[in-house]
Structure 1
Amino acid sequence: MAVWVIVAVGGMVAGLVTAHATGEVLARRRAERHPVRSVLLTDLPKRTSLVRSSGGKVSAQVGWTATDGSARTGRTLVDTELKAGTGVVVRQDSRGTPTPAPPSLTEWDLVGSSWGRRAG
Structure 2
Amino acid sequence: MPRGKQVKNRLWRWRSNPLRRRDDIVEAWIVLAVWTVFTVGGAIAGLVTAHAADEAFARQRAERHSVEAVLLHDVPRAGTAVGGATDLRTASVRWSASDGSPRTGRTPVHAGLKAGSHVTVWQNGQGHLTPAPTSSAEAAIESVFLGTTAAAALAGLVFGAGAVARWRLDRRRVDAWGREWDLVGPRWGHKTG
TM-score by length of 2: 0.52
Distance change >3 Å, CA 7–CA 67, structure 1 → 2? closer
Return 1-10 or 79-88, whichever deviates more. Answer: 1-10
Aligned position for 1:60 = 91
- 1:87 aligned partner, one-letter code: H
Pairwise CA distance, 1:64: 1.4
> How far apart in 2 are the matches of 1:74 and 1:41?
10
Task: Name the residue aligned to 2:62.
Answer: 31
State the aligned residue count. 114
Quick check: 1:95 aligned with 2:130? no
> Is 1:81 the counterpart of 2:112 in the alignment?
yes
Deviations 1:45-102 (A, max 9, x none): 1111x11234232211011123333322111111111111221111111111111123
* Larger radius of gyration between Structure 1 and Structure 2: 2
Equivalent of residue 20 in structure 1, options 51, 72, 82? 51
Structure number with higher strand proportion: 1
Structure 2: runs of 5+ lacking an equivalent: 1-30, 157-193
Q: CA RMSD in A?
A: 2.5
Structure with greater helix share of residues: 2
**Percent pairwise identity:** 47
Cα distance in 1 for partners of 2:110, 2:104 equals 18
- Secondary structure of the residue aligned to 2:39 is helix
Distance 1:97 1:53 in 2: 20
- Which blocks of at least 5 consecutive residues in structure 1 are unaligned? none
- Residue 51 (1) aligns with residue 81 (2): yes
